[in-house]
Amino acid sequence: MPDLLKVAKFGGTSMADYHAMKRCAGIVGSDPDKKVIVVSATAGTTNLLTEFIAESDKERRLDIARRIRFKHLELCNLIQDKFSPQKKILGLLDELEQIAVRTQLMTSMLRDDILSFGERLSSELFTAVLSEQTGKDAHCFDVREIMRTDNNFGSAEPVIEDIARLTEEKLLPFLDHKCIVTQGFIGSDSHGFTTTLGRGGSDYSAALLAEALDADVLEIWTDVTAIYTTDPRIAEGVKPITEISFDEAAELSVFGAKVLHPATMVPAIRKNIRVYVGSSIEPDKPGTWIVKETKDHPVIRAVSLRRNQTLLTVHSLDMLHRFGFLARLFTLLADHKISVDLVTTSEVSVALTLDSDMNTPGKQKLTDEVLVELRSFCEVEIERDLALIALIGNRLDTTAGLSGPVFGALKEINVRLICHGASTHNLCFLVSEKEAEKVVQRLHKTFIES
């Protein structure tokens, strides 16, 4: 077992092409402590596989499979013959084309199997580039041997105890003499069927492996130099965050900052593993450290935006001076595996927000069946095309004078719901999707730029 162990994750843009992979190999090569490397599919490949899955026409599916073939063979051909994984890559590409031809009925199990090709291809390629560029003894390890999940295909839940046991049995023995490259995003259920953790799930995979290995550091290498005070695609004047606490980073990711998958911080917090976020394009630029305790505790550290929100409002006169209504409502939602984010209640109504993101099929459940059940005991209203905005920081529940500037920035904006006071680290509200970016820009100007 090495003295210091780092798990490093490289995202899709970091795996974009041979040159991007070479840069990542340089980052791994310069640090002997980076022993476990978790990779995403090459940029755009998971989107292509999603198109493949949605396509019912065999010829068009084959066309997509051929685009994936071209892209990966082009990359493979740049690797020196001595290291080339061509045979394995061709095997995977042939298998994908056979699925394109043979599939009659798309099932959720088959969907996850198809989605896994992206990471299975990129990990073979990166293992070869790493060996070629650094002379390291790199080994491509199939993470499905250890990343045990339930069988909720599309949005599988990891089984932490099994992952710990399997990692110790099957992965740990390699670490004394090899550098391991493995796949993010994918896992397998107890029958060995391939599962996926949901879009963007490679960050979560890396955190789960860091937890199972008791790693000292988890590194997330991506296409931005650091975590910024808001998404740099939305506001000008964003500032890199040097240090942020576990709790703030967890809230930031849950409330939409795509730079970290929402569940990433959970294993890191459980095992107190420090997380570093840096750029694989400019690795020397300072990144962000996510730690248990930060030196500073600003009231507002960042602003985040989570799109595709649905507001569900239920009314019932039964709520008036009665008990049990909320329990009944939340039991129904829990039975249908509907995850609720914000909740506000009044005497006769409850308003709650849900993700309407179609990319996380396991979480999208406001089906007709749910609505019929809800309508059997209350009136229901649904509003879509909303966005959730969160101010993230410290002592937000007890800091005086915050609401003035917040409401000043929200002037003329129709705020559909506000949640304040439940968390010391966030103040959240819901606005229409159309106005969301403007609101983020205004809040960023008010609290961070000025």
Which 30-59 residues touch ligand ADP, going by CB under 6 A? 40
Using CB under 6 A as the binding rule, the residues of this chain from 40 to 59 that contact ligand ASP are 40-41, 46
Question: 69 vs 444, which CB is nearer to ligand ADP?
Answer: 444
Q: Pick from 6, 8, 10, 11 the residue near ligand ASP by CB under 6 A.
A: 11
Of the candidate residues 154, 200, 256, 262, the single one contacting ligand ASP (CB under 6 A) = 200
**77 three-state secondary structure:** helix
Q: Smaller CB distance to Mg ion: residue 11 or 118?
A: 11
The residue range among 81-89, 161-169, 199-207, 368-376 that interacts with ligand ASP, by the rule CB under 6 A, is 199-207
431 HSE (CA, 13 A, CB side): 21
Report how far apart, in Å, the C-alpha atoms of 1 and of each of 98, 167, 212, 271, 316 are.
Answer: 41, 13, 13, 18, 60
Which amino acid type is present at position 444? H
- Could you tell me which stretch among 38-46, 133-141, 150-158, 208-216 binds ligand ASP (CB under 6 A)? 38-46
Q: Determine contact, residues 94/133, Cβ cutoff 8 Å.
A: no
d(CA 364, CA 350) in angstroms, rounded, equals 20
Any contact of residue 118 with ligand ASP (CB under 6 A)?
yes
- For residues 194-213, which are near ligand ADP according to CB under 6 A? 200
**Minimum distance from residue 252 beta carbon to ligand ADP (Å):** 6
As a whole number of angstroms, the distance between CA 399 and CA 397 comes to 6
Phi-psi map region of 272: left, alpha, beta (phi>0 left; psi -120 to 50 alpha):
left
Q: Is 69 in the site for ligand ASP (CB under 6 A)?
A: no
Exactly one of 46, 183, 205, 222 binds ligand ADP (CB under 6 A); which one?
222
Check binding of 154 to ligand ASP (CB under 6 A): no
Q: Give the distance, in angstroms, between the CA of residue 418 and the centroid of all CA atoms in the same chain.
A: 25
Q: Which is nearer to ligand ASP, 41 or 171 (CB)?
A: 41
Report, in Å, the least distance between residue 217 CB and ligand ADP: 17
Shortest gap between Cβ of 101 and ligand ASP (angstroms)?
24
Q: Is 323 exposed, middle or buried (0-12, 13-18, 19+ CB in 10 A)?
A: exposed
